[in-house]
Amino acid sequence: GGENEIGKLVDYRIIGIDPGSGLMKATSQAIQDYGLNNWTLVEGSGTAMTAALDRAYKNQEPIIVTGWTPHWMFIKYDLKYLDDPKQSFGGSEEIHTIVRQGLKTDAPSAYRFLDRFHWQPSDMEEVMNSISDGVTPEDAAAAWVKKHSDLVAEWTDGIPKANGQTLKLAYVAWDSEIASTNVVREVLATKLGYKPEMLQVEIGPMWVGIAGGDADAMVAAWLPTTSKDYYDKYKDRVVDLGSNLEGTKLGLVVPSYMNVDSIEQLR
Ligand SMILES: C[SH](C)CC(=O)O
């Protein structure tokens, strides 16, 4: 379309995250679906996006970011999702646990725990919020595990301990997966006797790592839509242990002080 009031305020830019993510693919789809011809989707990272949001929000300036739930930003700032009447961002999804073929034989205790690992968005947000308040991911995970000993017991009761076997956990540096992967690491290390390592990679290498056996597990598969391309490509070479969290959401997010409510209004 031609001139757009909101577009002018944000220089026709949507501040995105890492280019391979499903969220960026969905945003490109929305730009097409809603005819946002003169708009630019800025590639970066989850960290760069939250830094830009923080700067704009502190100065009460307009900004549009690619966002998702669960995320600490909805606690820290007064934000809103733009309505998505064309459903370019899909509906509410879930996050799956994906492990390498052979893990059940090689590390049966880790496999059994990973198969049981399941928590609520509020649990993930508790860890995320603590990290966003400046607690290290390791300490935030340790505090959460200590506080939620009943749920952790459900994950680990009756599972024999390993004797210091190394395990490689792959993840992408999304704030949600920094939180979840640190909790998984903490349980593997303190309850099940493993020596877990965390490998921070981009989304493609994360799936390749599990499929190729270079990594043992990840809790970062947003499905059925967000990670669909990677799932379809690697599903025959990985083991999907199902959902570890339900009730996610993806979309365009703005501070509540902006006078815009729908993606329709950006054209
Ligand atoms: C950004 S969501 C945590 C995951 C994804 O977009 O692939």
Contact between 45 and 17 under an 8 Å Cβ cutoff? The reply is yes
The ligand 1 site (C-beta within 6 Å) comprises: 17, 21-23, 68, 174, 176, 203, 222, 226-227
Residue spans per domain, the chain: 5-91+250-266, 94-248
Best residue for ligand 1 mutational test, from 41, 229, 250 (most atoms within 8 Å of Cβ): 250
**What's the gap in Å between 23 CA and the centre of ligand 1?**
5
Contact between 69 and 121 under an 8 Å Cβ cutoff? The reply is yes
What is the ipTM metric for this complex?
0.98
- Strand, helix or coil at 35? coil
**What's the gap in Å between 25 CA and the centre of ligand 1?**
10
Query: d(Cα 185, Cα 152) in Å, to the nearest integer?
Result: 12
Query: d(Cα 222, Cα 127) in Å, to the nearest integer?
Result: 19
String of DSSP letters for 210-232 = HHHTSS-EEEEEEETTTTHHHHH
Query: d(Cα 169, Cα 198) in Å, to the nearest integer?
Result: 5
30-56 per-position pLDDT tens digit = 999 999 999 999 999 999 999 999 999
**What's the gap in Å between 159 CA and the centre of ligand 1?**
31
97-145 per-position pLDDT tens digit = 999 999 999 999 999 999 999 999 999 999 999 999 999 999 999 999 9
Burial (CB < 10 A; 0-12, 13-18, 19+), residue 3, is exposed
- Look up the CATH number of domain 94-248: 3.10.105.10
Q: Which CATH number fits domain 5-91+250-266: 3.40.50.1000, 3.30.70.100, 3.40.190.100, 3.30.70.260?
A: 3.40.190.100
